[in-house]
A = this chain, B = another copy of it.
Amino acid sequence: MNKTPHILVVDDNPEIRDLVSRFLIKDGYRVSTAGDGREMHKALADKRIDLILLDLMLPGEDGLSLCRTIRSTSNIPIIMVTAKGEEIDRVLGLEMGADDYIAKPFGTREVLARIKAVLRRVSGETSTQEASPRTKYSFAKWILDVDKRELLSADGIVTPLSTGEYDLLMAFVERPKRVLSRDQLLDLARGRSASVYDRSIDTQVSRLRRKMELDPKSPEIIKTVWGGGYIFTPEVSQS
């Protein structure tokens, strides 16, 4: 794991979000924030998150409930954050699937230490990675087998994909009909953010098109949005 971990800070207080983001970034992490459950789910759908810092008290669905929801579909590590005096919930939080627990007010050193510890602990596990709920996607004349990481044409013939090509295609397939910037794609497929003159996504898109498009010169599946990025146009169905 040489990629810098991407941490999602979920707290309804914007000042706390800002404060925490700032020192996490300073320590070299990539950070996204969310103010409630809805935003959290959006972030989880759009980005490859490595760890969630989840406040217990939230408007709408509360932290415990969110924690359980996340656990039902993935095993992203979660650190619960709670205001002092709510310590009773510690056991409950851990039972809900949180990986650690920290009480407000907290020092930056403490949070950093816990994050590091949890990440180290989790990376050691032969992370079977989140159990993908669906195992096959169909689109255009292709089938993407998530379990086998294989691309099949409709008649079942395998088209070999490299790791990077597969990851990029996966990012597209899971977010069809949406314009995705190069930066987003890089985050989703590679887990890193773009550097100044980064053209690697273009190259990889070009390679994918060569393998998948009937006529790579006028692509039907992955289209270019000039000045914006790329968009995966086909209807995707799961099976």
**B163, A233: Cβ atoms closer than 8 Å:** no
Task: Name the distance in Å between A82's Cβ and chain B's nearest Cβ.
Answer: 15
**B14, A117: Cβ atoms closer than 8 Å:** yes
**B1, A100: Cβ atoms closer than 8 Å:** no
Give Cα A43–Cα B184 distance, bound, in whole angstroms.
30
- The yes or no answer to A113 lying at the interface (CB within 8 A) is yes
Q: How many interface residues does A have (CB within 8 Å)?
A: 54
Complex: chain B residue closest to A163, CB-CB? B226
Give Cα A49–Cα B114 distance, bound, in whole angstroms.
23
Task: Name the distance in Å between A1's Cβ and chain B's nearest Cβ.
Answer: 7
**B226, A164: Cβ atoms closer than 8 Å:** yes
- The yes or no answer to A136 lying at the interface (CB within 8 A) is no
**B163, A94: Cβ atoms closer than 8 Å:** no
**A235, B147: Cβ atoms closer than 8 Å:** yes
The residues of B that contact A100 with a CB separation of less than 8 Å are 14, 35
Report the 9 A-B pairs with minimum CB-CB distance, sorted nearest first.
A163-B226, A59-B94, A148-B233, A42-B125, A46-B124, A163-B225, A147-B177, A33-B121, A127-B179
Q: Can you offer 13 A-B residue contacts whose CB atoms are under 8 A?
A: A14-B100, A14-B114, A14-B117, A17-B117, A33-B121, A35-B100, A46-B126, A59-B91, A127-B179, A148-B220, A162-B226, A163-B225, A163-B226
Name 9 extra pairs, CB < 8 A, besides A18-B117, A32-B121, A43-B125: A12-B94, A33-B117, A33-B121, A35-B99, A42-B126, A47-B124, A126-B178, A149-B223, A163-B225
